[in-house]
Amino acid sequence: MSNIPEQQDPEARGPQDHAAPKNLVPGLLLAGFGAVAFSGKAIIVKLAYRHDVDAVTLIMFRMLFALPIFAVMAWWASRGKAALTRKDWLGVCGLGFIGYYFSSFLDFAGLVYISASLERLILYLNPTIVMLLGLVLYRRGVTVRQLAGMAISYGGVVLVFGQELSVQGAHTAWGALLVFLSALSYSIYLVYSGELVRRLGALRLVGLATSVACLCCLLQFALLRPLSAALVAPEVIWLSVLNATLCTAAPVLMVMMGVERIGASLAAQTGMIGPLSTILMGTIFLGESFTPLVAAGTALVLTGIFVVTRRQ
């Protein structure tokens, strides 16, 4: 929601990793449209910030409108299944808090200070963070190729960050740190969600965990803001509805359906269209500049992530 990168969930795998030819085009389209829709979140958030609204209020509206969708998703995926145990509920609540609530809030807060393009590139570092967490927590091996890819991708982010820092000032560093912590938070969710995904299924876990996150955002608003803070410009309401539907719930379903048809690996590679679409939309709707440094940094990030995630 961050994104959940706003990335293709590695755990949301279909029954096969190789798609039948008849499923290839529909799968590619679903994965591609899902990645583009995820990327539109940052654009909508930046547009909403122009109407004098803060991160706490804005994320409350996003989750308020998304809650019914995810609740229905959880109910649908739970039909005919065994009830969750106490341990399952603790896992769902923990993953919902760290992976969707905390990650999304940090992302929204960071977007106050940095461009949508830089935000998307930082979030796209998720595979490298997951790789490092696997090394630290589970002693999983890391190849020289993966380390080289990580260095390339981080070099690209540093390139774009350096340009934005020179133009926007020191607050860029704070915004970049918040978004990076958002990516770290979501990566922790990915690392620890594997067992629950196997027991509950990807759709059921996502529906339940995101519902928990929605309730956390509503509670956060109730504790930190007066009720009058919900009186916002009509544009904020409509943008939040778009964010909750087009850029949150719909992409989750599209990416899962894409993974089911073409496999997780190809869906992840198709997701590389995400940062490119964010930069394009940022240029069109937000007036963000597209410079040679941004182009070079984006190319480095995409190249590095491709190297890290491609199969041997």
User: pLDDT tens, 19-67?
Assistant: 445 678 888 899 899 999 999 999 999 999 999 999 999 999 999 999 9
In a domain, 7, yes or no: no
In a domain, 6, yes or no: no
Angle at 214 between CA 31 and CA 251, to 5 degrees: 10
In a domain, 3, yes or no: no
CA–CA dist 2, 53 (Å, integer): 19
In a domain, 4, yes or no: no
CA–CA dist 85, 243 (Å, integer): 32
In a domain, 8, yes or no: no
Query: What's the structural domain count of the chain?
Result: 1
What's the domain range around 76?
21-309
In a domain, 146, yes or no: yes
CA–CA dist 8, 251 (Å, integer): 10
Q: Please report the pLDDT score of residue 24 as a whole number.
A: 84
CA–CA dist 186, 176 (Å, integer): 15
User: pLDDT tens, 187-218?
Assistant: 999 899 888 988 998 889 999 999 999 999 99
In a domain, 1, yes or no: no
| Residue ranges in the chain modelled with pLDDT below 70 | 1-22, 265, 311-312
In a domain, 136, yes or no: yes
